[in-house]
Amino acid sequence: MATLHREASELPYSWAPAYRSLIETAYAEPVLRNLYPFTSHWALCFSTTARPELTPTGPCLTANRDGTYGVGTGILAPDLGLFAAPREAVALAVHHLTPGPLTD
* DSSP state letters, 9-68: HT--STTHHHHHHHHHHHHTSHHHHTSEEEEETTEEEEESS-TTS--B-S-EEEE-TTS-
Query: Which of 5-9, 72-76, 96-100 has the lowest average pLDDT?
Result: 5-9
For residues 70 and 93, is the Cβ–Cβ distance under 8 A? no
Q: Please tell me the predicted confidence (pLDDT) of residue 85.
A: 97
- What's the confidence (pLDDT) of residue 98? 67
